[in-house]
Structure 1
């Protein structure tokens, strides 16, 4: 069943993804987690703190997916494509109301520019692009690697947005194919 903190984070992740951060109240989260409201405040100082923990957990979850896929790859090209594979894995996760795109971007869209939640999501996306650049630097020069990483980042974000609208990872799979074709020319 997990600790109260784990149950609260699981409930928040489900509700924030399905209903949105601002539309989800503390009472909904505590009811779904099966804990008293006091347990929430024993584990998180505020809803803002819970949102921050949710974003951190989603980031760590994606990094774990990527690490697993990267470890399985046998080539440098495969390691670059493992970023796409991690996005595909994420899209294939079981979602109660279906896949709706990147949970981090969905959450960030609810906050004003400069808000800590948006900054945390921006940092995640920058780290993904950095992972791409580091992998690409093993295949081409550093300048070209940064440029391709930015292109792949745009490709990924567009594909995840469209996949979220479609409710299927097909667009992400297509994006992976496009990236593989581009990598074959290096």
Structure 2
């Protein structure tokens, strides 16, 4: 088996197992068994479990970015672009249904590690990137930087809170509701700005 094929098989197995069972509960032997590779093949591609976890977190982000790009391609207004972020969260949640939806894979991963660990810091950075996307789209609607940051923070809290609740309920219903809440919040802020 070629090295890149083995690496893909290992990462695919880890993605499924880490999301389904948790990172700390998933041993190397379980990953290699599911991937159908020798343990040495895993260590040739990922020198440590920490390296595999890092690749897992990045792969979750890449998946979400691809879904967001699809949604963004059909967004025509600044509001559409903001709502595309919410839609991509829902798309990502619904793509995990086959493995039993457990909420945001990145937040779940972060919860397994201590404060200021590289894993938590990586997730924090990715979540800050999503809030930055919201900020950029909001700057097309509003001019006051403080207002933009305030609304972006509210939207981020709505988004992350809804994905946490969706994970607890094993359903994307909260993500449908929060999209409407985000739209209402932005429309209200626009009305207040024009008064």
Same fold (TM over 0.5): yes
Match of 2:68 among 62, 66, 69: 66
In 2, Cα distance between equivalents of 1:139 and 1:172: 23
Q: CA RMSD in A?
A: 1.3
> In the TM superposition, what whole-angstrom CA distance separates every residue of 1:43-63 from its partner, at most 9, and x where no partner exists?
011001000010111111111
The equivalent position to 2:184 in structure 1, one of 163, 181, 185, is 181
Gaps spanning 5+ residues in structure 1: where? Answer: none
Moved more, 1-10 or 172-181: 1-10
TM-score (norm 2): 0.92
Query: Which residue of structure 2 lines up, in the alignment, with residue 153 of structure 1?
Result: 156
Structure-to-structure mapping, 1:5-154, within 5 angstroms? 5-141=7-143, 142-154=145-157
How far did 1:86 drift?
A: 0.5
Unmatched tracts of structure 2, length 5 or more: 191-195
Offset, 1:67: 1.5
Q: Which of residues 163, 172, 175 is equivalent to 1:172?
A: 175
Matches of 1:76 and 1:26, distance apart in 2: 45
- The CA deviation at 1:179 is 0.5
Aligned to 2:193: none
Higher Cα Rg, which structure: 2
2:166 maps to 163
Higher helix share: 2
Asked if the contact 2:16/2:99 (under 8 Å) is kept, the reply is no
Structure 1-normalised TM-score?
A: 0.96
Return the alpha-carbon distance in structure 2 between the equivalents of residues 47 and 90 of structure 1: 25
1:92-143 Cα shifts (integer Å, max 9, x gaps): 1143442110000101101000110000000011000000000001000222
